[in-house]
C-alpha cells in the first residue's frame, strides 16, 4: 500500500507538467491578447506592455520562464487586475470555493448514502420508486434553477435566510449556496449507492452473514456498506474538483467572492497568467482527489491489493 502511494505521488509531477504544458500553449492559440481592447492602444504603449510582461519573447522562452516562476511558487502577475498577483487572487477566492465545495460534498454524502441504501433495501417498492423519482429530479434539475428557487422560498417568501452576500463566512450565508450545490450531489451519490448496494447484497459473503443470523442492520453496516461505497468514492475524486470549479453559477447567484469567476474572467480577458494559475490549482485538486480516492479503496474493501 505504501509503495503504491509513493508511486502515485511521484506520478503527480509528470501529470501536472503535461497539464501545464498543454494549457500554456493552447490558451495562446486563441485569437486576441491581454492588451487587445475595443479602443486599440498605440503601438508604442502596447509594445512596452508586452515587454514589461515578457510577451515579446519567443513562446518557448515564455514557457521556460513560467515554469521557473512556478517552481518558486510564483504564478506571475495578473494582466488585468493590476494591483494583485495571481497568487493573491487565488488566495482570496479559493478558500471560499473550497468551503462551499467541501460542505456540499459532505452534505451530499450524509444524505445520499443513506438515501441510496434505503432504496436498495426497499427495492421495487413504493419507497424505492419515490426515492428514485427524487434522485432523478436532482440529476435533471441544474444548479441555476435550484439556486433561485431556494432564494425565492427561504429568502424572499419565508425570510429565513439571506439570499446573497458573504459577511465573513457566517453560517447563515452558506446554507442556501451549499444546499443548491449539494442537490445534484445527493442525487448522484444516492443513485450510485443504490446500484452498488443491490449488487453487494446479492454477494455470497452477505448471504453467509444473513445465514448466521445477524440482524439486517449489522449485515448492512458491517459487511455491505463499505464495498458498496467503492463506486461512490471513485466518482467523488473528479466530482470534488468539478464541484469546486463548477460552483461559478452558485457563487454568481448568491454573490459569493469565490475563485470560479476568476477562471471565466481570465479567459474572457485573455489574462494568461490568471487562467494558468487557476488551471494549475484545479489540475492539482483533481490529481490529489483521485489519489485519495484510490487509497480509500484499500480501506473500504480489504480484497483490494496494490501490488
How many Å apart are CA 208 and CA 201, to the nearest integer? 11
How many Å apart are CA 267 and CA 26, to the nearest integer? 12
Q: Where exactly are the structural domains of the chain?
A: 86-300
Q: Which fold would CATH assign to domain 86-300?
A: MetI-like fold (1.10.3720)
For 273, residues 6+ apart whose C-beta sits below 8 A from its C-beta are: 66, 75, 76, 77, 78, 79, 86
> Does residue 125 come out as left (phi exceeding 0), alpha (psi in the -120 to 50 range) or beta?
beta
Give the helix/strand (H/E) hosting 285.
helix 272-300
pTM of the model: 0.85
How many Å apart are CA 225 and CA 206, to the nearest integer? 11
Task: State the burial class of residue 157 (Cβ atoms within 10 Å of its Cβ: 0-12, 13-18, 19+).
Answer: exposed
Q: Per-residue confidence of the chain (307 residues) as pLDDT tens digits?
A: 667 677 777 888 898 999 999 999 998 887 777 877 656 677 787 788 788 888 888 999 999 999 999 998 899 899 888 788 999 999 988 888 888 988 999 999 999 999 999 999 999 999 999 999 999 999 999 888 999 999 999 999 999 999 988 887 788 999 999 999 999 999 999 999 999 999 999 999 899 998 989 898 899 998 899 889 988 988 887 787 778 766 778 888 898 888 877 887 888 888 899 999 988 988 888 888 888 887 777 677 666 555 5
Selection from 182, 177, 159, 180 nearest residue 167 by Cα: 177
> Does residue 165 come out as left (phi exceeding 0), alpha (psi in the -120 to 50 range) or beta?
left
Amino acid at each position: 500500500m505504501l509503495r503504491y502511494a509513493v508511486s502515485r505521488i511521484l506520478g503527480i509531477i509528470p501529470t501536472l507538467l503535461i497539464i501545464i504544458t498543454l494549457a500554456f500553449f493552447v490558451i495562446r492559440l486563441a485569437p486576441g491578447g491581454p492588451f487587445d481592447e475595443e479602443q486599440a492602444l498605440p503601438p508604442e504603449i502596447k509594445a512596452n506592455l508586452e515587454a514589461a510582461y515578457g510577451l515579446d519573447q519567443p513562446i518557448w522562452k515564455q514557457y521556460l520562464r513560467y515554469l521557473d516562476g512556478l517552481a518558486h511558487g510564483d504564478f506571475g502577475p495578473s494582466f488585468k487586475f493590476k494591483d494583485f498577483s495571481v497568487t493573491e487572487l487565488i488566495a482570496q477566492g479559493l478558500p471560499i470555493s473550497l468551503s462551499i465545495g467541501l460542505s456540499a460534498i459532505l452534505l451530499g454524502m450524509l444524505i445520499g448514502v443513506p438515501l441510496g441504501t434505503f432504496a436498495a433495501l426497499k427495492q421495487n417498492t413504493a419507497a424505492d420508486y419515490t426515492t428514485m423519482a427524487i434522485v432523478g429530479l436532482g440529476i435533471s434539475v441544474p444548479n441555476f434553477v435550484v439556486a433561485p428557487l431556494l432564494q425565492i422560498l427561504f429568502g424572499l417568501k419565508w425570510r429565513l435566510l439571506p439570499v446573497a452576500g458573504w459577511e465573513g463566512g457566517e453560517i447563515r450565508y452558506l446554507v442556501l449556496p451549499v444546499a443548491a450545490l449539494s442537490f445534484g450531489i445527493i442525487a448522484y451519490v444516492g443513485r450510485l449507492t443504490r446500484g452498488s448496494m443491490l449488487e453487494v447484497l446479492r454477494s455470497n459473503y452477505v448471504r453467509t452473514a444473513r445465514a448466521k443470523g445477524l440482524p439486517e442492520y449489522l449485515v448492512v453496516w458491517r459487511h455491505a456498506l463499505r464495498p458498496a461505497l467503492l463506486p461512490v468514492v471513485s466518482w467523488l475524486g473528479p466530482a470534488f474538483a468539478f464541484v469546486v470549479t463548477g460552483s461559478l453559477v452558485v457563487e454568481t447567484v448568491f454573490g459569493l467572492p469565490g475563485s470560479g469567476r476568476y477562471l471565466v474572467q481570465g479567459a474572457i480577458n485573455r489574462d494568461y497568467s490568471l487562467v494558468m494559475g487557476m488551471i494549475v490549482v484545479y489540475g492539482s485538486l483533481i490529481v490529489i482527489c483521485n489519489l485519495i480516492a484510490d487509497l480509500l479503496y484499500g480501506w473500504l474493501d480489504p480484497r483490494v491489493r496494490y501490488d
